[in-house]
Amino acid sequence: MKINELYSFKGLYRDDFRVQGYEFGEGEKTVCIVGSLRGNEYQQIYVCSQIIARLKEIEERGGIKRGMSIMVIPCANPYSVNIKKRFWSIDNTDINRLFPGYDKGETTQRVAAGIFECIKDYKYGIQFASFYMPGYFVPHVRMMKTGNENVELARKFGLPFVVLHRPRPFDTATLNYNWQIWNTEAFSIYTSSTEKIETVSARQGVNAVLRFLSKEGIIDNKNSVGDNSRVIESSNFINIRASKAGFLSPLLRAGEKVLQGEILANVTNPYTSEILQTVKAPCDGIIAFSYDSPLAYQNTALFKIIPDKNM
C-alpha cells in the first residue's frame, strides 16, 4: 500500500489542506474509490476505511492482479469534516456540484479540479454518495443516464437495486456525471446512512465493491453471491410527503416491505401531541428511503416507495 498526496494547499490559520489516496497494486489506472466529498459523510469515510483494510490484506497475499492499480480516497474534504459542516466552511459551496472544476477559480473549484485531474483516467470510478436530506436508504448502486451507463456492470456489485437516474441540470457538475463524460464506468453506491456509522450496510458496501473487483478480474478474493439486482428508474419512486409540519414518529424504515394502506408514520403537533397526519403506504412495495429527523416540515418527502409493479 502506498499513500499519495493527491492535492494540497497551505492553510493560513490551521493545518494544510491535504487529500490523500491509498494505492494498491501498480500499473494501469483501474479503479478509483471515493468516499466523503462533504463534511458530514462519516459513513462514507468509514466504508472506505474498511475497504482499505481489506485491500491491504488482499495485496499482502498477492491477490491484486499484476498490472492493475486501485486507488481509495476516504475523504476529499477534511476541512469541512473537522468542523462538522456539510459544505465548505467559508462560502458554503458543495464540491460535488463543481466538477470537473476550474484550477484558476474559487477554492472549491480548485479542489474539484485538483482531485479530478488525478482520478479522471481510471477505468472504473466508484463513489460512496449521500442524499441531500437526512434519512436512510436501502443499499443500492446508482447510475446517471448519460448514454454511457452500463447496467450489467452495475449488477455485478450484487446490491438489491440498480437505480437509473436521469440527470437534472445541477447533476451535470457531480463527480459521477463527469466521470462518465470522461469515459470512466462510474457508479454511486448508497449505504443506509450518512452522519451515523451503520455497520451492517457498511459491510454490504464493502462486500459489494470487493465482489465487483473480483468479478472484473481485478482481485482474487472469495465473495458472497450477493443479490440479483433489480433495475428501477428513480422517476418511478413514489414520494410520500408531509401534509402538515410537526414531530415525525416513523414506524418503519428503509428496506422494509409494506402493504397498501399500512401505517408508516405519524406527524404530531409539537405542543399538544395531537396527530396531524397518519402517513400510509399508497401501494405495496419496498421503502427505498425514510426521512430521519424529529421535525418534518410541510411537503417534506418522508418516504420513497419502490412499488411492486416496478420490481
Q: Is the dihedral of CA 234, 236, 241, 247 positive or negative?
A: negative
CA gap 145, 180 in Å, rounded: 9
CA gap 91, 192 in Å, rounded: 29
Percent of the chain with pLDDT over 70: 99
Question: pLDDT per residue over 51-105, tens digit each?
Answer: 999 999 999 999 999 999 999 999 999 999 999 999 998 899 999 999 999 999 9
Percent of the chain with pLDDT over 90: 93
C-alpha cell at 120: 479522471
Higher pLDDT, 25 or 311: 25
Strand partners, 304: 239, 289
- How many residues make up the chain in this entry? 311
CA gap 141, 289 in Å, rounded: 14
Question: pLDDT per residue over 195-228, tens digit each?
Answer: 999 999 999 999 999 999 999 999 999 888 899 9
Please give the average per-residue pLDDT across 21-28, as a whole number.
97
CA gap 219, 62 in Å, rounded: 9
Contact 70, 124 (CB under 8 A): no
DSSP state of 219: B
Q: What is the pLDDT of residue 310?
A: 59
Q: In terms of pTM, does the model score above 0.85?
A: yes
Higher pLDDT, 311 or 258: 258
Question: pLDDT per residue over 281-310, tens digit each?
Answer: 999 999 999 999 999 999 999 999 999 975
Contact 149, 164 (CB under 8 A): yes
Q: What is the pLDDT of residue 180?
A: 95
CA gap 228, 246 in Å, rounded: 39
The mean of the pLDDT values for the chain is: 95
Question: pLDDT per residue over 1-14, tens digit each?
Answer: 999 999 999 987 78
Contact 92, 41 (CB under 8 A): no
3-state helix, strand, coil in the chain (%, to 5): 25, 35, 40
Residue type for position 219 = I
For the stretch 51-61, what's the b/e string if a residue is b when 16 or more beta carbons lie within 10 angstroms of its beta carbon? bbebbeebbee
Cβ–Cβ contacts within 10 Å for residue 3, how many?
9
Contact 31, 23 (CB under 8 A): no
Whether 311 shows a pLDDT value over 60: the answer reads: no
Nearest to 305 by CA among 262, 276, 271: 262
Q: Alpha carbon of 9 to those of 71, 108, 266, 289: distances in Å?
A: 21, 12, 49, 38
68, burial (CB in 10 Å: exposed 0-12, middle 13-18, buried 19+): buried
CA gap 105, 113 in Å, rounded: 9
CA gap 264, 280 in Å, rounded: 5
Contact 44, 36 (CB under 8 A): yes
* Domains detected in the chain: 2-233 (3.40.630.10), 237-310 (2.40.50.100)
How far is CA 164 from its chain centroid? 14
Helix (H, G, I), strand (E, B) or coil at 279: strand
